[in-house]
Amino acid sequence: MQANRSYLPSADRVGVLIASVLLAFALTRLIHSPRLTLTIALPGFYFAYPLTLSTGMTILAAALSATGMNWLISDSFDKKPSIEHLMLPTLTTFVLGAFLTLLPNETAWSVGLAFSAVLLGGVFLAEHITIDPSAPMYGFARAGLTALAYALFLITATALRFSGMRMFLLVPIIFLVSGLISLRILHLDGTDRWDFPWAIGIGIVCMQIGAGLHYWQLTPLQFGIALTGPIYALTVLCVNLTENIPVRRAAIGPSIIVGLAWISAIFLR
């Protein structure tokens, strides 16, 4: 029992944290507030973005996740957590909060809220386990975090397309999210190395692909899959190259991944 306590977070604290985040999501659905439109008018350029209560509550929920993850780690390990363990919980909460605001009816929103609870629980648990490399479930937690990170990017890209966001907002968001997610995935290799050049490069490539696909007649899911394939392939390529695999052999797997993702996107109508 003591061994479990060394790497598993307190179930009560995890439950309180998830419930607090879900309550913030629920309040954005229940409370309706007037919109405050942020406008920027320049010669030949007009920008308008509506700010609502849901925007502020989503940001607060993301901050709550970061603080709560800090709380979980400090309670178990008696130390301040590294920023690496706060990145995915914060980003996951923010993306899920934005995604829930797009759901059209109460049934879809209820299903989305239940899915959010499961995903948040998985992120909190996996991040907590990966703090201790000697934990019995460390390898499984690493694999789970990697899968969750890719799923999070798919949700982000799909939600951005579904929202009909304009390209000059879409492009920087794709760059930021893809860069942060690839940075966290590459840091999970256990070498304690931050691959900032690769993360920035992956973000730029995904941003350019997203800008090109913005004008294509794609469904939200097609758009998400077409972007998730490249970020997955590029992170695999980075790992292969850091393991000193020859470039041609290292690029075979990523090329197949991108091809399969784009073929799937084409036929997924």
Q: Distance between CA 183 and CA 199 in Å, rounded?
A: 5
What's the pLDDT at 177?
92
Q: Tokens standing for 53?
A: 């209560």
Residue that the structure tokens 């239940």 belong to: 114
What's the pLDDT at 2?
43
What's the pLDDT at 4?
43
What's the pLDDT at 190?
58
What's the pLDDT at 46?
58
What's the pLDDT at 109?
87
Phi-psi region of 164 (alpha: psi -120 to 50; beta: other; left: phi over 0): left
Closest alpha carbon to 17 in 59, 95, 72, 79: 72
Q: How confident is the prediction along the chain (269 residues), in pLDDT tens digits per residue?
A: 344 445 777 888 888 999 999 988 888 877 766 666 666 665 665 556 666 667 778 888 889 998 888 888 876 666 665 677 888 899 999 888 888 888 878 888 889 899 999 999 989 988 888 887 777 888 888 888 889 999 999 999 998 898 888 787 888 899 999 999 998 888 886 566 778 888 999 999 999 999 989 888 889 999 999 999 999 999 999 888 888 888 888 889 889 989 998 898 888 76
What's the pLDDT at 6?
55
Q: Distance between CA 150 and CA 107 in Å, rounded?
A: 26
Q: Tokens standing for 196?
A: 């900032």
